[in-house]
Amino acid sequence: MKILFIYPGYENLGIEYLSSALIKNGHQAFLIFDPVLFNECGSIRIRFLSSLLNYTKTILKRIARINPDLICFSCVSDNFKWMLDIAGKIKANFDIPIIAGGIHPTSVPDLVINNDLIDYICVGEGDEAIVELANKMQMDNGCRIKNIWSKKEGVVIPNEVRPLIENLDSLPFPDKDLYYKEYKFFSRGYLIATSRGCPHSCTYCSNSLLREIYRDKGRYLRRRSVGNVIEELGRAIKKYKPTYVHFCDEVFTTDKIWLREFVDLYKKNINLPFACYSSPLFIDEQTAGLLEEGGCYKLQIGVQTLNENTRRNLLNRWYTNQEIEQTIKIAKKNKIYLTCDNILGLPGESEQDLLEMAKFYNLNMPNHIEIFWLRYYPRTAIADKIFNPAILKNSGPQKPELDIKPRGIATGGDTYRKELAKFHFLFAIFPLLPEGIRRVILNKRLYRFFPSLKPIWVILLFKYLNKARFDLFTDSTMSRYIFFCRKLFKL
């Protein structure tokens, strides 16, 4: 079977794992990458340029050349409309079945499978399910497969999810050739995961939903062995020669024993600078020391809000402002570049809340302050609470699963407020300013005269000015535009 993946904008590690599973079981896997130039889901959108640089005709030509047996889309809520647009063009020109997987179909499977453009959906992890589907499609028998929903004569056939894959070492390494062979710029920073799942259940995040879907289906937070991770990285260095490594685990530092073993082998065998994500609950002196020893140049943590009551009761984030302050101090002591993530537009959030956040950061300044806007993703706990019919009484905004307009969390999400957006600009420039100037801005409330920041390229500029080096997504964004513009204009 020839399986074709279509994906926009960025490298997708999940697709690379699915490709490896298919290849291991005798199938062929292909990728068509849509650069979505100036038409990114909820971020860089310039209608004239996106129309000029539209990639749809190229996608259709490549589909005709590959002639796949199945076309696969992995989609989040923000790129679901993009997927439907491309799927509509495919169905108008080809008779090829389409399957949609990823967190959006997993969140609202009934709504996605009932779309006429979609033949199958995958709910949850697809490593085993996609192989079973490909095998059974060869025998014209693709209906009863765990994790896969299908349709037969217009009737939806749902299926339960299979148990979680607990032994992650049993999975083949992700198929990096799928991206790196044609788009070499992705290989500058090697994207890897050492775990699946998350120790937290934040109300705004899909992990809270996935925990419920996989209740009694196995251990949710799972980790690969250190040896398995080092083996993948060793092969990557020989084949792709990356300059740094980006660990995309939800929280990289959950296990100190694992981290100690990892640092010893990583220094000896890999010895590249790396970036990772963590949480104030999982950073202390010992952990930060291990990260610094191993070559961690960038650590990113979720703060979200400095209103402790909101963070605890609305977001289900259980740490104190004192623990955040301590994490910032520890990162500085160990010379680790620290990024703090924050969410604007939280329910009930006021200008005073953001002013208090700015005052906190003025005294406890990380290297970079990342700002996102709240997005009500389908069936997350916060969306279910905010869109509770008893609260809305049928007069509120549309439920997120019914609203497929892309709203990027970097540029406005669902809760953009112009008067608060001035703080977006403030936090973007804050780490670049001396402490005395920051204090004057706050005391005189000069932020009121700042622009309401929305354009993503301005945010990227501030990242570069702030020396946010080796930022995987910033790097790949810039490289993607350069690569495809040169290709399109034959430069």
Q: Got the DSSP string for 124-193? A: S--HHHHHHHHHHHHTT--SS-TTEEEEETTEEE--PPPPP---GGGSPPP-THHHHTT-GGGGGEEEE-
pLDDT at 87 over 90: yes
Neighbours of 284 (CB within 10 A): 15
Q: What pLDDT does residue 53 have?
A: 84
The yes-or-no verdict on residue 91 having pLDDT over 80 is yes
Backbone angles phi and psi of 485, in degrees to 5: -65, -40
* Length of the chain measured in residues: 491
pLDDT at 460: 61
- pLDDT at residue 139 greater than cutoff 90: no
Torsion of CA 379, 383, 83, 134, to 10 degrees: -20
Give the CATH fold of the 183-485 domain.
pyruvate-formate lyase- activating enzyme (3.80.30)
Task: Report the run of H or E that residue 230 belongs to, with start and end.
Answer: helix 226-240
Return the bridge partners of 472, or none.
none
- Check whether 186 has a pLDDT greater than 70: yes
What single-letter DSSP state applies at residue 11? -
Over residues 325-349, mean pLDDT? 95
User: Given a cut of 80, is residue 410 above it in pLDDT?
Assistant: no
In this predicted structure, what is the pLDDT of residue 396? 43
> What secondary structure does DSSP assign to 28-53, as a single string?
EEEEEEE--TTB-TTSSB-HHHHHHT
Place of tokens 């740490």: 319
* Domain range 2-157, CATH class: alpha beta
What's at 445, amino acid-wise?
A: R
Percent of the chain whose pLDDT exceeds 70: 89
- Across the range 170-198, mean pLDDT stands at 96
pLDDT given for residue 39 in this prediction: 81
- Which of 44-48, 313-317, 421-425 is modeled with the greatest confidence? 313-317
Please tell me the distance from the alpha carbon of residue 87 to that of residue 71, in angstroms, as a whole number: 9
Helix (H/G/I), strand (E/B), else coil: 422: helix
Angle formed at CA 40 by CA 38 and CA 44, multiple of 5 degrees: 55
CATH 3.80.30.20 domain extents, the chain: 183-485
Helix (H, G, I), strand (E, B) or coil at 117: coil
pLDDT the model gives residue 393: 40
Average pLDDT over residues 419-432: 89
pLDDT band, residue 413 (cuts 50/70/90): confident
* Mean pLDDT rounded to a whole number for the chain: 90
pLDDT at 254 over 80: yes
pLDDT for the residue 428 = 86
Residue 167 and residue 249: Cα distance in Å, rounded? 16
Q: Note the pLDDT tens digit of each residue in 447-486.
A: 999 887 655 556 666 666 666 555 677 677 778 888 888 8
Name the pLDDT band for 414 (thresholds 50, 70, 90).
Answer: confident
Looking at residue 46, its pLDDT comes to 74
Q: Which ranges in the chain are annotated with CATH 3.40.50.280?
A: 2-157
Which of 111-125, 395-409, 411-425 has the lowest average pLDDT?
Answer: 395-409
Amino acid identity for residue 407 in this structure: R
User: Can you tell me the distance from the alpha carbon of 19 to that of 28, in angstroms, rounded to the nearest whole number?
Assistant: 8
pLDDT band at 487 (very low <50, low <70, confident <90, very high): confident
Q: Which of 279, 287, 373 is nearest to 330 (CA)?
A: 287
pLDDT at 395: 39
Provide the terminal-to-terminal Cα distance of the chain, rounded to the nearest Å.
37
- Which pLDDT tens digit goes with each residue over 339-394? 999 999 999 999 999 999 999 999 999 999 988 899 999 999 998 888 765 444 44
Tally Cβ neighbours within 10 Å of residue 107. Answer: 23
Compute φ and ψ for 211, nearest 5 degrees. Answer: -60, -40
Distance, C-alpha 249 to centroid of its chain? 10
